[in-house]
Amino acid sequence: MAFKRKSRTATRPRTRKAAPYAKRPMRTLDDGQNLLVSAFCEVHAQTATATETEMSYSICLDPKALTLTAGQATTTFADGGADDGALIGSGDDLNIPKWNTFSQLFNQYRINSVSCSVRGSISSIEFPINMSNDIGDGTPCGSQLQATSGAHKTFYITEANREAKYQVKNTGNQLDYLSTASGQAQVSADKRYIKIHQHLPKTPAPQIVAHGVQLYISLTMKDSKSLN
């Protein structure tokens, strides 16, 4: 008895067409060197007995001119050194030792992002800390309403958690390279600021509210001045 051979085409599995391969765009190489610099300062404000007050300040996010601006005469800055640290005037720049070293080695720099953490004292737990950022305007917020009227983040300080964190990432034209030369400043309209505000209660006796501010600035340095 002859057996009927099965057709190969009947048992062969059907093959599917491979999906077209999507080519990835060619990446542009960046010959810069990434660098992370940090700075620290303390901010103090004094409460009043007769009325509620404000504690507000802004920080220009440029390592070349990390300018501190106070919203009130009762808000002051210090460098965080021993014995309460040296006072820093409103409108003065915060020193960044690492930037001072590396800016001498490169011709250009780019600001990628900035992370800011504010550690509030126990006396600052009654009202929240509000943090926001602005471009071209470094004027500190004058009230709780102004601080929360736009895009912002609010942090409630407790005894267990007294740290507020905020991050700004640059995009588009904000990633343009800037000159490290001392005589060439960033255009004022392009400068970016972090603004920090806290409403303060009236107290039976004046007391100091303190913020410890830590900044981490992510940079890319370009065009080495060294020919070796």
> pLDDT digits over 4-53, tens only?
555 555 556 666 666 665 555 544 445 689 999 999 999 999 999 999 99
Q: Give dist(CA 148, CA 125) in Å, integer.
A: 18
Phi first, then psi: what are they for 173, rounded to 5°? -65, -20
Q: Are 137 and 71 in contact (CB under 8 A)?
A: no
Instruction: Find out whether 118 and 212 touch, Cβ atoms under 8 Å.
Output: yes
Residue 123 has pLDDT above 80, yes or no: no
| Strand-strand pairing, 129-135 and 153-155 | antiparallel
Select from 135, 133, 130 the least CA-distant residue to 153.
130
Q: What is the mean pLDDT of residues 89-103?
A: 94
pLDDT score recorded for residue 26: 45
Q: How confident is the model at residue 157 (pLDDT cuts 50, 70, 90)?
A: confident
Average pLDDT over residues 179-184: 89
Give the percent of the chain with pLDDT over 70.
84
Question: In the prediction, which pLDDT does 225 show?
Answer: 72
Q: Are 43 and 218 in contact (CB under 8 A)?
A: no
Contacts of 60 (CB under 8 A, 6+ apart): 66, 67, 69, 138, 191, 192, 193
Domains of the chain are: 32-224 (2.60.120.20)
Nearest 5 degrees, angle CA 86-CA 88-CA 91?
A: 170
Neighbours of 221 (CB within 10 A): 20
pLDDT in tens, 197-219: 999 999 999 999 999 999 999 99
**Rg value, the chain, Cα:** 27
Residue found by looking up tokens 């008895």 in the block: 1
Q: Mean per-residue pLDDT for 148-156?
A: 90
User: Could you give phi then psi for residue 206, rounded to 5 degrees?
Assistant: -55, 135
What does the DSSP assignment read for 117-141?
EEEE-GGG-SS-EEEEEEES--PPP
Q: How far apart are CA 207 and CA 205, in angstroms?
A: 6
| Portion of the chain with pLDDT greater than 90, in percent | 62
Rounded CA-CA distance 179/177 in Å is: 7
Pick from 164, 190, 162: nearest CA to 176: 190
What are the beta bridge partners of residue 95? none
pLDDT tens per residue, range 51-91: 999 999 999 999 999 999 999 999 999 998 766 789 999 99
